[in-house]
A and B are shown apart, each in its own frame.
Chain A
Amino acid sequence: MGSRVSRIDTGAGVSFIASAVIHLAVFLLLTWWGVFFPPHRAIQETYYVDVVNLPAANPRSGSSAQKPGDAGAVPPPAPAPPMAVPSPPRPAPKNLTKGVKPTDPQESAETESAFAERMAKLERNSESRREESVLEKLRSKVKAGSGTKIGTPGAGGAEAGSRYADYIKSRLEDALKVTNSYTTKNPEVAVRLTIGADGRLLRINIERSSGDAAFELAVRRAIDLASQKFTAPPNRTPFENGFIFKPKGISNGTSR
């Protein structure tokens, strides 16, 4: 064997350190890139404007910004005086413009007054409908309530059981909105639930199923989800009721 030649093959350690530094630099570069240049969102946010309740002094002016002096100038429900509109954005009704040049100032004034009248009429109608709906709600509340806690589990009185059933139905409906899934056209599952005195779900008995496995699974999940929030039945008495689950909602079955 000959005399050995002295070599400089000692670069392995240095190469390893250099490699680690390169990887660290790339990692930091990617982090920096991710922080300062976040990817653009593919979906732009959509803003909806409530045109009916737009707080505009003049809905035909095309802007929702109110001038300081126009604070109380929201169109009143009563017949409003004709508003002076410089240029109507849409064509006037045919019966008014027929055979007349649109540039005629007298005819233009008539068109504006007719438009203002129509606007006032529409607003009156809208206002009366709103009042009617509010009154209807109040009437139904008075009819159903008569001093008890309506729809709450703690409600007393003879109809307590049915109210608790409504409460359970409401919870189940909320849960079904999350888990809803079905493959056939009109699946239907009838379930009887037994709830203990402490509000725990004791038994789930599927009485009838239309055979849609996906919907049945969704119903089971809805029951599991909803049962986490059940409160105790009124008077601490065990509660049992049947519910019919459909994709569009839940209806009460018979209680025992």
Chain B
Amino acid sequence: MAIILGAGIVVKLVLLLLLTFSIISWAIILFKFFQVQRAKNESERFMDFFWKSKRFDAIASQVDRFANSPLTVLFNEGYSELKKVVETDSKSAGSALSTDLGGVENVTRALRRATNSEITRLEKYLTFLATTGSTSPFIGLFGTVWGIMTAFEGIGKTGSASLAVVAPGIAEALIATAIGLVAAIPAVMAYNHFQHKIRVLINEMDSFTTEFLNIVQRNIAGK
């Protein structure tokens, strides 16, 4: 630890910044890990429940059991919009479901809006991981360059360029790059991992939207 305590003020500030980045990155990694894991597990359970159920109102009464699944939100939004369409149609001139595809479009828009909001929720904070992954090595490099400049200044003042004089200053400077990489590598790995997981969830949401609209359209066309 003497290598950190012996560094200059600029290098110390760089190390503090990198430490902050690292702490926040790991907080996001942990948070996202549990969030995505919950979303994935509850989506699977919700889909099982969805296909086993015969009626939308029965599903709607149980959605709280799968609160962390993005599909639940989609279903909730779609079902609410569908109810509104049906209520409006039944009130208008006695011709039930006369709006046909117009009502389906309303539901489609509601589902698209819900999908977008869920994607935003799932991707929240991921930009910080990307920023940490791309900038931390450069911040560390800045600390190293600054540290080496200071070390050479010291060498110039003492007039001695032996290894014993040069090596500690260089080692103190290089620690900044090392910490920068330590902060960046997990952030980049986690960012790629979560991007993949979220892409899978988005695909699931798209599939569910299609299925939901198919069911709605079948029912409207059948009446």
Contacts and interface: CB of A to CB of B under 8 A. Distances in A.
A9 B35 contact: yes
B24 interface: yes
Given A18-B30, A181-B159, A3 B76 contact: yes
B80 A3 contact: yes
A218 to B, nearest CB: 7
Q: Interface centre among A4, A15, A30, by most B CB within 10 Å?
A: A15
A2 B77 contact: yes
B19 A5 contact: no
A19 B80 contact: no
A179 interface: yes
Given A8-B38, A8-B67, A23 B159 contact: no
Interface residue SS majority, chain A? helix
A100 B28 CA distance: 91
Given A16-B27, A181-B159, A11 B34 contact: yes
A31 B1 contact: yes
A45 to B, nearest CB: 14
A221 B159 contact: yes
B191 to A, nearest CB: 16
B23 to A, nearest CB: 5
Contacts, number: 68
Given A23-B23, A221-B159, A5 B30 contact: no
A7 B31 contact: no
Contact of B26 (A9, A23, A221): A23
A236 to B, nearest CB: 33
A2 B68 CA distance: 16
B115 interface: no
Contacts of A96: none
A2 B26 contact: no
B3 to A, nearest CB: 9
Interface size on B, as a range, is 20 to 34
B159 A15 contact: no
Given A12-B31, A18-B30, A19-B23, A7 B68 contact: yes
A1 interface: yes
A218 B67 contact: no
B159 A16 contact: no
B27 A19 contact: yes
A107 B31 CA distance: 93
B76 A15 contact: no
Nearest to B84: A2
Contact of A2 (B31, B67, B76, B160): B76
A182 to B, nearest CB: 12
B104 interface: no
A5 B19 CA distance: 36
A7 B118 CA distance: 12
Contact of B1 (A23, A30, A178, A179): A30
B68 A18 contact: no
B72 interface: yes
Interface in A13-47: 15-16, 18-20, 22-23, 30-31, 34
B27 A12 contact: yes
A19 B30 contact: yes
B71 to A, nearest CB: 11
A20 B23 CA distance: 6
A6 interface: yes
A5 B26 contact: no
7 contacts: A5-B73, A7-B67, A11-B35, A15-B28, A15-B34, A20-B23, A30-B1
Smallest CB-CB A-B distances: 7 pairs? A2-B80, A19-B26, A15-B31, A19-B27, A15-B30, A16-B27, A15-B27
Given A2-B77, A8-B67, A19-B27, 9 more contacts: A2-B79, A5-B67, A7-B67, A11-B31, A18-B26, A23-B22, A30-B1, A34-B1, A221-B159
